[in-house]
Every structure is written in structure tokens, then in C-alpha cells.
Amino acid sequence: MMKSLYWVFTLKCNDFCAHCYNNSGPKGESIDLDQLKLVIPNLPDQIGRLILSGGEPLIEWKKLTEIIRELKKRYKDRVPLYLQTNGDFLTKEKLKHLQEIGLERLDITSLDRFHKHKGSRADELANLMQDSGWINLENTPKAEESRSLRFKMWGANEDIWLGGNWARGRAMKNGHALLNPEHNFCSLWSGAKGFLGGESQEVHIQLYRLYPCCPTTAYSLGDVRNNSVESLLANASQEPAYQTLNKAEIESLGAREGLSKEFIQNRIQILGDVCLWCDEYFTQYYKGEKSDLRADLITK
């Protein structure tokens, strides 16, 4: 069973944060609801959890609620549904509606210096959540974490998300990605390790494009509107490059093309980040099958 699927269904956002790794903002990419609905039948039958994110999901309220309804039709109560939001549009009415249509966990991810409120609304939002019947996971015993209506509050920081993980988008452009060539994000949760089925397994869909990791690779694995996730992963599993990413053996990414380990190690040191080496490899050296769906992070 796939452990986690992370679906960024919109890149539209009310904020324009300097650290945003996927270039979300008021003019962020978005697609019609009918196109998003084409993705749902092509998702795996069994998933440990499904996370909806953006952008800011609540800025596209109709799409969000329709997607949740369609997911609940597909999965009933077999797949826990999570939502990540900056919290700017949360109200008691919206929280009640999200509860009624089957959302089980909500993460408020704006408690950092980059979002417009810089975490100043943390107490207000926590009180709103708790008054609406949601349980704060920070104050909840492990034994009770399986209960529905859970929430957690966090934000980007140097120890994790900025610490070598987000060499992407405006985080990279604005110098907020803390590059560290020794930090192998590929081997961590939401990196590529195990994306073909393994211990650290989370795949990422951005709008309709499938990727092996949260930061995204230079090329997507394919279009989930027209192909099942399983078939796209099966295709990827035949490619040596993706087999290497699945093992998070980033210093071997390029061995098939005749690149020495010393050359790869040197490029990682010069670039300062394993994800940037992954980009360079796929755009300059990769000899396998390529999707024509280029990630925005490469071209912007």
C-alpha cells in the first residue's frame, strides 16, 4: 500500500511568500475542476493518507470541497484525508463544512517569518480550531491521534524545510534555501526514497503531474489525468535513473551515462544541493524516456 500521496491541486495563493518552493501566488497556476476530477479515478486504490495542499487550498473553496466529496465517494473511510492551509480563510462555518464532508486532519503551515502574519495569529487560529471541535495534536497523547478532527500548526524553519530541502522556486531565487551538499533530502520522508514502494514512500502530484518527491524532479513521471499512478510508477520502475532515486543513491545518478562518482560528488559540492544535481542530471545527461511535462521550477 502506498503510504502517502501529496496532491497540490492549485498553485493559487493569497500570499506571495519569499520562501515558496513551488512559486505559488495570486497568479499561480490552476486548472478547471473537471480536469482535477479526472485525476481521482487514477489514484491508487489503497493509500495510507492523502494530503491536499497548494498554493492556498481555501482560496479555491469550491474546488477543494468538490475534490473532498469525490475522494470520499471513491475511498469512503478507507483513506484519511488531510489538508494543509495557511489558515487565512478559516472560519467556524468552513471548519464545520470540512468536518461534514469528511476531512480528518488540518495542518496550519504558516507559523514562520515568511507568511504575512508571521505566526502572529497562532493563538487565534488554535482557539478557533479547538472551539470548533478539532483536537490539537501537540497536546494529544499518541493513543488518541487516530481520532478524527485533528490539527497541527507549524511552519518552515532552518532545521528542516529550509535546511537543504527547498532548493526550488522563490526559496532558491531569494537565497532562503540553505544549501548543504551533505544533506541528502532524497533519503528523507517526501524525498524520492522508496517512491516505487518502500519504507519512505510518498509521491507528489502537482495539479496533474506525478513526481517521485515533494520538491519535484526536472521532468514529471506523467499525466495522472490520462494514466493511473500505478502505471506511471510501473513505467518509472523500468528506468535505471528512477531505480537509483528510489534507493536515494544520489551519488550514482549518472553512472549509467558514464559519469564517475568523483564527477558527481564534485558537481554536488559545486551546486550545493543534491536536488540541484538531480535537475542537472535529468536536463543535461539523462538518456532514458522523458516526459514533455517540464516542472515550472526549471523554467522560471
Superfamily holding 4-155: Aldolase class I (3.20.20.70)
User: What is the predicted pLDDT for the residue at 291?
Assistant: 58
pLDDT of residue 149: 87
pLDDT at residue 295, rounded to an integer: 40
Residue type, 208: Y
With b for 16 or more beta-carbon neighbours within 10 A and e for fewer, the 44-64 pattern comes to: eeebebbbbbbbbbbbbeebb
What confidence score (pLDDT) does residue 161 get? 74
Q: E strand or H helix at 236, and its extent?
A: helix 229-236
**Residue type present at position 145:** E
Dump pLDDT digits (tens) for 121-140. Answer: 999 999 999 999 999 998 77
Beta carbons of 245 and 192 less than 8 angstroms apart = yes
The whole-number pLDDT of residue 279 equals: 96
Q: In whole angstroms, give the CA distance from residue 171 to residue 188.
A: 19
Amino acid 56: pLDDT: 98
Distance CA 188, CA 201 (A): 9
Number of residues written out for the chain? 300
Q: Hey, where are the domains in the chain? A: 4-155
Q: Shortest CA distance to 229 belongs to which of 204, 254, 251? A: 204
Is residue 103 within 8 Å of residue 51, measured between CB atoms?
Answer: no
pLDDT under 50: residue ranges of the chain? 143, 293-300
pLDDT of residue 290: 63
pLDDT at 293: 45
On whether the CB atoms of residues 81 and 103 are closer than 8 A, the answer is: yes
Q: What are phi and psi of 135, to 5 degrees?
A: -100, 130
Strand order in the sheet with 135-136: 135-136, 150-153, 105-108, 81-85, 50-53, 4-8, 202-206, 209-211, 222-223
What is the residue whose three cell numbers read 494514466? Answer: 227
Which whole-number Å values give the CA distances from 67 to 2, 63, 102, in the listed order? 20, 6, 11
Q: Are 61 and 95 in contact (CB under 8 A)?
A: no
